A and B are shown apart, each in its own frame.
Chain A
Amino acid sequence: MMNIDLKKSKAVTGAAAVANAMRQIEPHVVAAYPITPQTPIVEYFAKFVADGVVRTEMIPVESEHSAMSAVVGAAAAGARAMTATSANGLALMHEIVYIAASSRLPIVMPVVNRALSGPINIHCDHSDAMAERDSGWIQLYAETNQEAYDLTILAIKLAEHEDVRLPVMVNLDGFILSHGVEPVEFLSDEVVKEFVGKPKKVYPLLDTENPVTYGPLDLYDYYFEHKRQQVEAMEHAKKLFPRVAEEFEKISGRKYDFVEPYKLDDAEYVMVALGSTNSTIKYVVDWMREEGFKVGALKIWMFRPFPKEKIQYYLNGRKAVVVLDRAASFGAEAPLYEAVKSALYEATIRPRLGSYVYGLGGRDIVPEHIRKAFMDAIEGNLLVDEQRYLGLRE
């Protein structure tokens, strides 16, 4: 867990923390649509613009589809461009989410994770982000408001690195983080500005002396090679992330990595999860440790590119691994479980595995649920091919 100096911190919602990161980044352009459903991020930011706190030009577009389209245009033009969205809004962007990645535009987008319709819901789960997991965006997941703030700043540098040039989604759990108040230690404006620097303009559309064509028709003779380059760019992101994280640590004292191990040294039973639920898992780990159970947790900070090697490193040889997913993949294994299980195929000593889906549509997850999943693992009651549910009426 991050050590936050309460004296230096402010109690803010995740949305306010992210909006403040955006204020400090001061992108050239922010295009956003406020509904379906949006979050206060854009409202806070609009106020910064209205008050002249930032020089950013804001485009209050008429849909998320246009939000993503406009930031693609702005980023191609040579501007640093951001947007923020959630759930159905992200789904509406879907087509252009792919185009942003394939155009290699380093757009950073905080995503407040909420359930996709239908039925219409609005509360937290990861179905929105999971629907974009193959879109070519880097995906980071925050456990706390502090992380949501930090990762938004860090993401700019990762996205814009010349060997990466990929867009990044910074995921924060809907309501739990976006509307939940936590202490956040903010960096100074100067430090953030220096960290993100000025964006390097790579083939900017507005360079009329050197005209470029963006988005040509790319048929069977080149499309495949371009997709291969995207695969490569993700590999670069994986290589460069530790370096960017190290630079961020220098300015913040806070260390980020692909994953965060929690009490793993001697742990025999490990739980893997994304996002804010990790705080609850850590609480349960502490509780069960007091009772003598050798349990631990592995939080996934970066889901795309998937840090397979880290998964193998931390999970190889454990007695059992329980994976928690806040999204279902209908007709297949849940997304995080599938990825972890696949990574462990190459492990020399494969742990027993269990898949637990929880919290869909904002269903609360409580320590007892997590304890139950741990106890299943401890009691040898896991079936690799069985998807179980926490907190579900059956």
Chain B
Amino acid sequence: MPVNYIDMARTFKSNAEQVGLVQGHRLCPGCGAPVVVKFTLMTVRKLGFEPVVGLATGCLEVSTTIYPYTAWTVPYIHNAFENVAATMSGVETAAKSLKKFGEMPEDKKFAFIAFAGDGGTYDIGIQSLSGMVERGHKVLYVLYDNEGYMNTGNQRSGGTPTGSNTTTAPVGKVIPGKVQIKKSIVDIIGAHEGVYAATASISDPADFFAKVEKALNFDGPSFIAALSPCIRFWRIPDGAANSISKLAVETKYWPLYEIDRGVYRITRKPRQFKPLIEFLKAQGRFKPLLSRPDADKIVNALQEYVDKRWERLLALEEATKDKYLR
């Protein structure tokens, strides 16, 4: 029975502590990350799993656990920046072993969840993540993708979009900000084959919950990349995380899809798309780019890119239909 978000809201409205992340944390007002966490953990709870959470160093980690305080009401471990996947591999294996040794009830239903930002996922943590997926640990890795090193003041990452203005790839007189294209992280993880990998958006809770549910019931590692707007460095109003996420989906910037053991499926196909420029101009981080005389050329190239990528996704969906690799 798929989880239903009206039911979910009823369950957790008066029972926020049970979700796992409570108020009092120091994330910026309007930040997307805690929504990503709550959508994930609400589904975990609703399905009767006991969450054990691991975090990579980043905004979410530093803002939720300043000693002697913690905003987490569920077991939580942070080790370092690049190793949440390896750390959770250890935690998950420990549970398996303790059960095998008869030191823990066999029927204890854990959900091991790793949360990490884009820096800890696309860049410094990708080796650890690849290892975890390849070895098949039953961990759900949730990327909250705020598209840069936002905790440390907006540095460029492998997840930063082309043309975004960051402190380490600023829009300058000669170079128009980041010139490279954002890594396609879901494809990278999906290519490990024995994995469930998906994108998600906080603007579409039903799709988000369904993917978490699928991930939790998947017999193996799973990965969800959730776009997670950063109020501060995307230069957007603090009530805009949801609307910007929605725009990202509507402009093909952040297509909602999944790769289940090699099988692509687009989970949301908007009837009409909006032009990418609407997504770009809604955010201050693209303002320096859009003020350049060559802005049109760059925006057109980006529009062509998202169009091509969408066509490719449709083709992959068609080509891989029912062809599960494992």
Contacts of B72 in A (CB 8 A): 211, 213
Q: Is the CB of B70 within 8 A of A206?
A: no
Cross-chain contact B70 with A74 (CB below 8 angstroms): no
Measured between alpha carbons, how far is A332 from B91 in the docked complex, in Å?
Answer: 41
> Is B155's beta carbon under 8 Å from chain A?
no
Which range contains the number of A residues in contact with the other chain?
A: 35 or more
Binding site for B on A (CB under 8 A): 28-29, 31, 55-57, 59-63, 65-67, 69-79, 81, 95-96, 99, 198, 205-208, 211-219, 221-222
Whole-angstrom distance between the alpha carbons of A59 and B97 in the complex? 11
* A217 pairs with B67, CB closer than 8 A: yes
Report if A62-B128 is in contact (Cβ < 8 Å); known contacts: A69-B80, A214-B78, A218-B67: yes
Residue of B nearest to A211 (CB): B75
CB–CB A77/B90 < 8 A = yes
Verify A214–B93 contact, CB threshold 8 A: no
Contact check, A99 vs B67: say whether CB atoms are below 8 A apart.
no
**Distance (whole angstroms) from the CB of A262 to the closest CB of chain B:** 41
A217 touches B110 (CB 8 A): no
Contact residues of B between 61 and 93, Cβ < 8 Å to A = 61-62, 65-70, 72-80, 82-83, 85-91, 93
Q: Which residues of B contact A73 (CB under 8 A)?
A: 54, 77, 79, 86-91, 94
Asked if A206 meets B91 with Cβ closer than 8 Å, knowing A73-B54, A95-B80, the reply is: yes
Complex: how many Å from CA A56 to CA B101?
9
Q: Chain B contacts of A69 at CB under 8 A?
A: 79-80, 83, 86-87, 89-90, 128
State whether B52 touches A78 (Cβ < 8 A): no
Instruction: Give 5 nearest A-B pairs by CB, closest first.
Output: A73-B90, A70-B90, A62-B131, A77-B94, A66-B86
Q: Which of A57, A65, A76 contacts B82 (CB 8 A)?
A: A65
Taking a contact as CB atoms closer than 8 A, the residue among A78, A99, A211, A221 that contacts B98 in the complex is A78
Instruction: Give chain A residues whose Cβ lies under 8 Å from the Cβ of B101.
Output: 28, 55
Residue on B nearest A72 in the bound complex, by CB: B79
Contact partner, A99, options B65, B79, B130, Cβ 8 Å: B79
Cβ of B78 and Cβ of A79 under 8 Å apart?
no
How far is it, in angstroms, between the C-alpha of A63 and the C-alpha of B126 when the chains are bound? Answer: 12
Residues from chain A with a CB closer than 8 A to the CB of B98 are 28, 77-79, 206
Contact of B307 with A by CB under 8 A: no
Interface centre among B73, B79, B100, B104 (most CB of A within 10 A): B79
Contacting pair A59 B89 (CB below 8 A):
yes
Q: Is the CB of B75 within 8 A of A205?
A: yes
Residue of B whose beta carbon sits closest to that of A26: B101
Contacts of B283 in A (CB 8 A): none
Q: Shortest CB–CB separation between residue B16 and chain A, in angstroms? A: 15
Beta-carbon contact of B86 and A222 below 8 Å:
no
Give the distance in Å from the alpha carbon of A75 to the alpha carbon of B94 in the complex: 8
Question: Is B94's CB under 8 angstroms from A28's CB?
Answer: yes
Does chain A have a CB within 8 A of B95? yes
**Nearest-CB residue, chain A, relative to B70:** A213
Interface string of B90-134 (1 = CB under 8 A from A): 110111111011011000001000000000000000011011001
Among candidates A59, A213, A217, residue contacting B135 with C-beta atoms closer than 8 Å: A59
Please indicate which of the listed interface residues B52, B54, B131 has the most CB atoms of chain A within 10 Å of its own CB: B131
Q: Are A66 and B75 neighbours in the complex by a CB distance under 8 Å?
A: no
Given A55-B101, A72-B79, A72-B87: A216 touches B65 (CB 8 Å cut-off):
yes
Closest to B51 in A: A208
Given A59-B90, A59-B135, A70-B93, A96-B80 contact (CB < 8 Å): yes
A81, A213, A217: the one contacting B94 at CB < 8 Å is A81
5 sampled A-B residue pairs with Cβ under 8 A: A55-B101, A57-B94, A96-B80, A207-B75, A211-B73
**Is B317 an interface position by the 8 A CB rule?**
no
B213: Cβ under 8 A from any A Cβ: no
